[in-house]
């Protein structure tokens, strides 16, 4: 992430992976074929850098950008994805059973 001063206005830029949801934020600028390439946040009047960064971090967390980026850093085969999905479903089913008391 980079915070820059341009003509007295603060901007925060972060490169976005091409596999994030399209049109999920109004802050994104389109890249080739409409894929988001980066997120741009304009500094509001009277807004400090700390407030700008806090607002930026809220957006990043809400859109799960960091989580998606970390998941995509390693290749996971389709069979591994299916196994993980089954494991997660089993874990959720067991949690639900424990909560209901069965």
Tell me the per-residue pLDDT of 60-83, one tens digit each, with 9 for 90 and over. 889 888 888 888 899 999 999 999
Tell me the per-residue pLDDT of 78-98, one tens digit each, with 9 for 90 and over. 999 999 999 999 999 999 999
Instruction: Report in angstroms the alpha-carbon separations of 56 from 6, 7, 10, 50, 77.
Output: 18, 20, 12, 10, 33
- Average pLDDT estimate for 41-65: 90
Q: Which domain holds residue 69?
A: 2-74
Number of independent structural domains in the chain? 1
Q: Name 5's bridge partners.
A: 10
Residue 98 lies in a domain: no
Residue 10 lies in a domain: yes
Q: Average per-residue pLDDT in the chain? A: 76
């Amino acid at each position: 992430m980079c915070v820059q001063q341009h003509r007295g206005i603060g901007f925060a830029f972060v490169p976005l992976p091409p596999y994030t949801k399209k049109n999920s934020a109004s802050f994104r600028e389109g890249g080739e074929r409409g894929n988001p390439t980066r997120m741009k946040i304009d500094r509001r009047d009277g807004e400090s850098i700390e407030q700008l960064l806090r607002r930026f971090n809220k957006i990043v967390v809400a859109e799960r950008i960091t989580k998606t980026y970390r998941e995509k850093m390693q290749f996971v085969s389709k069979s591994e994805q299916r196994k993980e999905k089954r494991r997660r479903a089993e874990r959720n089913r067991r949690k639900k059973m424990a909560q209901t008391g069965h």
